Structure 1
Amino acid sequence: MEKRKMVITHKLTQQQVNLIQEIIPDWELIVGKDKEIWQEHLQDAEIIAGWKRGLEESCLTPDSKLKWLQTWSAGVNSLPIEKLESKNVFVTSANGVHSYPISETIFGLMLGLTRKIHTYVKNQQSKKWHHANMGLELHEKTIGILGVGAIGKETAKIAKAFGMHVIGVRHSGNPEEYVDEMYTPNKLDALLPNCDYVVITMPLTKETYQLIGKEQFDQMKPSAFFINIGRGEIVVEKDLVQALQNGKISGAGLDVFEKEPLTEDSPLWEMENVIITPHTSGSTEHYNQRVIEKILIPNLKSYLSEQTPSENLVDFSKGY
């Protein structure tokens, strides 16, 4: 009898491999980062963990055996969602594993802009002793978190340590601990004028695509800082550039962009009031461990019990 097969397209430690193999001792488990390790197994794989470019050609054919895809990232906007849905493939994301590192990055960017750390780093490189008009502080300000999922909730929790007033935005509008006011996405005009910091933590969907543009930047305080660690396409980048150039907002901390890598001719590189990170806000030493222990293994146990994987199951109608 042919063994059931699972493919993991990432490099894991032997201990991590053993944890998974213990749950599926009778399965063939193929693990590795290099394409040569798993390419010939894709069509026979019942479970694939980790989506890579080119997989569609092998694992979404009429005779492929794929039943469940566990992504290694929180976002699923790069997946062929419609094809996966048409083949009735369960899709679960890695949403939640990023809440610690990304919330740390959010506050790193907020504090860096507020306390002019990025300016002082540049001054240090040229041995320049200059005050740089330091004067702002973060405590007791108002933060607007657009997308109160796992990352947004952790960000709200940290914000309370700074005595901040927290305004949240989520699709349901349901209240959340550490969030003082909650709005739905169609009420942005009611909250943006009140925010000292606007933080994008939303996933990219049809509804959030280019959600933030000129109209929204015009509604923000001239003293407001804009942080985006969600997806670049949620923001109209040319409108962001103009808002920064024209003083509509005070500065920006950006980890994501419309096109990545950010092109060398982008004016964002040269702006004194912008901090750029190369889509690394979710990077952490604990990434694989959290995906495996908190998401993959619980989902695998559910799947083997002939249940739907419940951790981060993607709702195809919502796109996340």
Structure 2
Amino acid sequence: MRKLVVTHNLEQELVEQIKETIPEWELIVGKDKEVWQGHVKDAEIIAGWKKGLEEYCLAPNSRLNWLQSWSAGVNSFPLAELESRNIQLTSANGVHAFPISETIFALMLGLTRKIHTYVKNQQTKTWHHANMNLELHEKTVGIIGVGAIGKETAKIAKAFGMKVLGIRHSGKSEEFVDEMYTPDQLDVILPNCDYVVVTLPLTKETKQLFGAKQFKEMKSSAFFINIGRGEIVVETDLIEALREGTIAGAGLDVFEKEPLIPDSPLWEMENVIITPHTSGSTEHYNKRVVENILIPNLKDYLMGKAPSINLVDYSKGY
């Protein structure tokens, strides 16, 4: 019997939807290793990547043909080995557009209107203006990586009357983006941005893309927002830029090492807001992965086609 393993706990309604799509298959669902361990070596499809799975998935007798990631980023996957075994990999890209764009604007607005400062003052019953005088409206935002998250961010930015500059590999224009650029033009847009928002995946090309040079190209009044991956930024350079006033502040959901180490200077900085890699967390996560990605791709797979949604290009790393 053909077998699909989901290494996450799912609501029964979602389990039933998958069963309806593959009524003749054996379906194994559960996040605990005891649930899936005895099945993954026989699974034709696995949805959700867990530490230790490579022991089974990359074994010579593995039957795995397709791996559905439960995350948008796949940089932690053994991509070279998966490619060498011709295993198709699909990501959860697109699931995060609403929650992450909300976090982006929470960080932008929090820094602009000094909400983080007022929360700290509230804890000590301190009534202080904190020299708050900035507005978000009609400013310029640079979105570095205009994918699903970037597009939703651009759409929201227009509600604030913002000018939107974007960067994407193709340079292809996009609704709600006023000017689109390619990655080699990063230095062209940085001096013009009041907010720089990084929504990129981690690849060989994007690793340490932002360092001292890039922060110096930004306005001293600009805010830096990173919800992509921590290793896209040279963290010591970012800390120095924040200390020296090279940039005005940062909203950070991702870091070079996670959890962020207790003695990192970022914890104590007045011009930094930290969230613990939770920008993609949402009550609708599993539903969107299953209904918007897994099941449509499963239908393609059953027809002998390659999955049509979020198929990872191993040469690009996303």
Q: TM-score, normalised by structure 1?
A: 0.99
Q: Which of 35, 38, 56 is the matching residue for 2:36? A: 38
2:71 matched to 1:80?
no
Superposed counterparts of 1:192-231, under 5 Å: 192-231=190-229
Aligned to 1:181: 179
Deviations 1:221-258 (A, max 9, x none): 00000000000000000000000000000000000000
Deviations 1:18-74 (A, max 9, x none): 100111111110000101000011110000000011100111111100000000000
CA distance in 1 between partners of 2:84 and 2:113 (Å): 50
CA distance in 1 between partners of 2:203 and 2:57 (Å): 24
- 1:136 alignment partner AA: L
- 1:22 alignment partner AA: E
| 2:166 counterpart SS class | strand
Aligned to 1:101: 99
Deviations 1:131-161 (A, max 9, x none): 0001000000000000000000000000000
- 1:106 alignment partner AA: I
Aligned to 2:112: 114
Deviations 1:189-216 (A, max 9, x none): 1000000000000000000000000000
Superposed counterparts of 1:289-300, under 5 Å: 289-300=287-298
- 1:281 alignment partner AA: S
| 1:226 counterpart SS class | strand
CA distance in 1 between partners of 2:4 and 2:292 (Å): 18
Q: Which of 118, 122, 143 is the matching residue for 2:141? A: 143
Q: Which of 162, 168, 171 is the matching residue for 2:169? A: 171
Superposed counterparts of 1:1-320, under 5 Å: 3-320=1-318
CA distance in 1 between partners of 2:55 and 2:9 (Å): 22
CA distance in 2 between partners of 1:205 and 1:290 (Å): 25
CA distance in 2 between partners of 1:171 and 1:61 (Å): 35
| 1:132 counterpart SS class | coil
CA distance in 1 between partners of 2:225 and 2:234 (Å): 14
- 2:305 alignment partner AA: Q
| 1:310 counterpart SS class | coil
CA distance in 2 between partners of 1:297 and 1:279 (Å): 27
How many correspondences in the alignment?
318
| 1:69 counterpart SS class | strand
Where does structure 2 lack aligned partners over 5 or more consecutive residues?
Answer: none
Deviations 1:271-293 (A, max 9, x none): 00000000000000000000000
Where does structure 1 lack aligned partners over 5 or more consecutive residues?
Answer: none
Shift of 1:13: 1.0
CA distance in 2 between partners of 1:109 and 1:244 (Å): 16
Shift of 1:15: 1.0
CA distance in 2 between partners of 1:102 and 1:213 (Å): 23
Identity across aligned pairs (percent)? Answer: 76
CA distance in 1 between partners of 2:91 and 2:189 (Å): 30
| 1:40 counterpart SS class | coil
- 2:9 alignment partner AA: K
CA distance in 1 between partners of 2:280 and 2:11 (Å): 20
Shift of 1:314: 0.2
| 2:38 counterpart SS class | helix
CA distance in 2 between partners of 1:249 and 1:8 (Å): 44
CA distance in 1 between partners of 2:236 and 2:34 (Å): 41
| 1:179 counterpart SS class | coil
- 1:289 alignment partner AA: K
CA distance in 2 between partners of 1:210 and 1:292 (Å): 33
Shift of 1:301: 0.3
The two structures, once aligned, show a CA RMSD in angstroms of 0.4
- 1:217 alignment partner AA: F
CA distance in 1 between partners of 2:193 and 2:11 (Å): 44
CA distance in 2 between partners of 1:120 and 1:80 (Å): 44
Q: TM-score, normalised by structure 2?
A: 1.00
| 1:48 counterpart SS class | strand
Shift of 1:14: 1.1
CA distance in 2 between partners of 1:18 and 1:174 (Å): 40
